[in-house]
Amino acid sequence: MNRDSFYFLLLNIGHFLDHLFTLVFATVAALALSREWGVGYAELLVYATPGFFAFGLFSLPAGWLADKWSRDGMMCVFFIGIGLAAIVAGFAETPLQMGVRLFVIGIFAAIYHPVGLALVTLKWRDTGMRIASNGVWGNLGVACAALITGYLIDNGGWRMAFILPGVVSIAVGLIYLAVRWRTIHDDHKGAGSVAPQAAGDVSAAQRAMIIRVAVIVFLTTAVSSVIFQSTTFALPKIFDERLQNLAFEMSRGVARLIGSGEGDVATMIGFMAFTVFAVASIAQLIVGRSLDAFGPRKVFMAVAALQILFFLLMPGLRDGLALAVALGFMLGAFGQIPINDYMIAKTASGTNRARIYGIRYVVSFSVLAVALPLISYVYLNWGFDTLFRILAGAAAVILVTVSTLPRQMPGSGAAAKAAE
């Protein structure tokens, strides 16, 4: 592996860890803390909400610092800071302590998306596939949060689900620092800044197109974030409720196969969630290649239609059918992720790209935080079937909105000039 490929690998590992850390608590709350601390699942979600607000709110200052100081330097802060915060979270004794520590995790987690995506989209061509490949690593982080945490609940305790990844993240941060030290040093001296991109005159029609794209990007970012958060955060609990029989039978079969006396149901639920997340992440590769080939309008409409179909099929299903349909709507939830990032990469100037991604993720992750009370309220009063119908409506809003996208995206040079 050459130095350039290793650099891209480190950026991808960062995306993996970012999503893993933000969703460890989702599985811990569903499968362990509600029993160990005697606190209901809906109530525990309240303590996760500030962390997701931090995840969004601090994206903008993180992007600003990256553009002004060093993008690679901010990545080192991300790896080491989130690792230390996760280790501290592993020693929480009360829901309030956990809530404060999840907030700190959210502060450091906010760094990755504006900074990591700016690095990915500025350094390499084939933008759609690079964003998609990087997104797959993030999705695997989502998947492994359920798998690793479910396994550790059965075999070591939930605290290690925070502590072990924290140690790994610090180690990766030190490796990243060693690999990128020269660049960070040059950035600090001003040698690593991105040169301004040339921009020609922009007509009134182009300016109006850019504004239209920007409105669509931020509106669909908000709505799609509700879908993504609701599905990824709630899926372990959905499986805990609806796949118990399947998980029990599968865990008994595995126990007989390996000669163990009793199956681990939590591990099996975590494994099924991992499998759905991992398989669904393949959708990002398909979407990434499709974006480069067909553009965002057609691809976004197809993904939204897929979500509507499977969300409407899900109510009332259990076990095998529920697992299959969950895979269907997760294909849509993961498939939509690279599309807005692709549109920003095609329209935003390089000198401001981290900040623009920061604004995008302020919107995205602030909505993620709002989605947690939504999940809690809907689940407490009507259950998950109503949530699926709400998410189908959200996907319909996206479908209608993206149908107004222009067939050809304005270039980043035009966008930069329009913003003057």
SS (H, E, C) 278-318: HHHCHHHHHHHHHHHHHCHHHHHHHHHHHHHHHHHHCCCCC
Please give the biggest Cα pair distance in the chain. Answer: 73
Q: Which residue has the higher pLDDT, 287 or 213?
A: 287
pLDDT of residue 201: 52
pLDDT tens digits, 232-253: 878 888 888 888 888 888 878 7
* Angstrom distance (rounded) from CA 10 to CA 121: 15
* Angstrom distance (rounded) from CA 149 to CA 266: 9
* Angstrom distance (rounded) from CA 104 to CA 126: 35
Cα–Cα nearest to 401, from 331, 330, 340, 349 = 340
pLDDT of residue 369: 66
pLDDT of residue 393: 95
Helix orientation angle between 337-347 and 319-335, rounded to the nearest 10 degrees = 0
pLDDT at 165 over 80: yes
Cα–Cα nearest to 83, from 146, 177, 5, 1 = 177
The whole-number average pLDDT for the span 6-13 is 93
CA atoms within 13 A of residue 363's CA, in its CB half-sphere: 18
* Angstrom distance (rounded) from CA 146 to CA 31: 10
* Angstrom distance (rounded) from CA 112 to CA 109: 6
pLDDT at 310 over 90: yes
The residue type found at 247 is A
The whole-number average pLDDT for the span 112-131 is 78
pLDDT of residue 396: 96
Instruction: Provide CATH code, domain 7-188+205-418.
Output: 1.20.1250.20
Q: Delimit the domains of the chain by residue range.
A: 7-188+205-418
374-380: long-range pairs with CB below 8 Å, 24+ = 374/226, 374/230, 375/45, 375/229, 375/230, 375/233, 375/234, 376/42, 376/43, 376/45, 376/46, 377/42, 379/41, 379/42, 379/234, 379/237, 380/42
Give the angle subtended at the CA of 273 by the CAs of 269 and 278, to the nearest 5°. 145
Neighbours of 200 (CB within 10 A): 11
* Angstrom distance (rounded) from CA 405 to CA 217: 10
Q: Which residue has the higher pLDDT, 164 or 257?
A: 164
The whole-number average pLDDT for the span 203-208 is 69
pLDDT of residue 293: 81
pLDDT at 360 over 70: yes
Instruction: Determine which of 119-133, 295-309, 340-354, 376-390 has the lowest per-residue pLDDT on average.
Output: 340-354
The answer to whether 202 and 418 have CB atoms below 8 angstroms apart is: yes
The whole-number average pLDDT for the span 256-268 is 68
The residue type found at 298 is K
- What's the chain's average pLDDT? 82
* Angstrom distance (rounded) from CA 197 to CA 412: 8
pLDDT at 123 over 90: no
Q: Which pLDDT band holds residue 171 (cuts at 50, 70, 90)?
A: very high
The whole-number average pLDDT for the span 199-213 is 67
pLDDT at 159 over 60: yes
- In sequence order, the 6+-apart residues with CB closer than 8 A to the CB of 145 are 19, 20, 21, 22, 23, 24, 26, 27
pLDDT at 198 over 70: no
pLDDT at 72 over 70: yes
The residue type found at 74 is M
The whole-number average pLDDT for the span 180-189 is 74
**Integer-rounded Cα radius of gyration of the chain:** 21
The whole-number average pLDDT for the span 51-71 is 84
The whole-number average pLDDT for the span 395-413 is 79
Q: Is the pTM above the cut of 0.85?
A: no
Q: Which residue has the higher pLDDT, 262 or 287?
A: 287
The answer to whether 304 and 395 have CB atoms below 8 angstroms apart is: yes
The residue type found at 116 is G
Q: Which pLDDT band holds residue 419 (cuts at 50, 70, 90)?
A: very low
As a whole-number percent, the residues of the chain with pLDDT over 70 amount to 87
